Amino acid sequence: MEEDSKNFTTIVTHDGQYEFNKVPFGLCNSLGIFQRFINHVFRDLLKEGIVIIYMDDIIIPSIDELGGIKRLSRVLQTASEYGLELNVKKYNFLKSKIEFLGYIIENGKMRLSLDKATAVQNFREPKSIKQVQSFLGLTVYFRKFIQNYAIIAKAWSNLLRDNTEFYFVPEQKSAFQTLKQKLSENPVLHIFKQGVKLELHTDARKFGYGAILFQQSDDIKFHPIHIMSK
């Protein structure tokens, strides 16, 4: 932490005055500072597609075991050069299936993790605007799995306006059940592959539009890799 910033973290106790020398958890800027630092450390590996990083979670994707070992070696070398300390107990090496940011990633595909899928299924019918916001916050994270998500969720748009009293009519109940059902069907997206044929399907209506990006797989069929709507 820079000298000029330390005084803003000062804590006064009966034993004296204390201040942080390093950026602590809990400050509004801590996450951004940490992410910027990590991105700087692994900037070359990020450009080459060797790592995927979110905060302190790092994925090292690879086609085969040998490639994975070579990439892992570069990541460890880079971390060593910057003096980063790594917790080996939290590492999983050479895995074909991982859980990352609420997704299960396996064999070039991704789907919802069991915890997230269960959270959606166990969500009870909203009884307040705050509960509607919570449900939308949970499902919007996975909107790329759901065709016409924005059109379905539009049923709640009036509820989210300022100074609106809560009501839950059949249209909104149907939207609630539809989103739960679609996410309970264990939807799968294929992961993008460089240099493989793509197809973009679009749909536009008076009250919304959407698109699905498909990519050809090893079975010659086209599978969705991303779904959007607005």
Report pLDDT for 39.
93
Whether pLDDT at 200 is above 90: yes
Whether pLDDT at 101 is above 80: yes
Q: What is the mean pLDDT of residues 83-98?
A: 85
Whether pLDDT at 158 is above 80: no
Report pLDDT for 164.
78
Per-residue pLDDT band at 19 (split at 50, 70, 90) = confident
What pTM was computed for the model?
Answer: 0.74
Report pLDDT for 16.
86
Per-residue pLDDT band at 41 (split at 50, 70, 90) = very high
Q: What is the pLDDT of residues 2-18, one digit of tens each?
A: 888 888 888 888 888 88
Q: How many Å apart are CA 63 and CA 96, to the nearest integer?
A: 10
Whether pLDDT at 1 is above 90: no
Q: Which of 27-41, 129-143, 150-164, 215-229 has the lowest mean pLDDT?
A: 150-164
Q: What is the mean pLDDT of residues 28-42?
A: 88
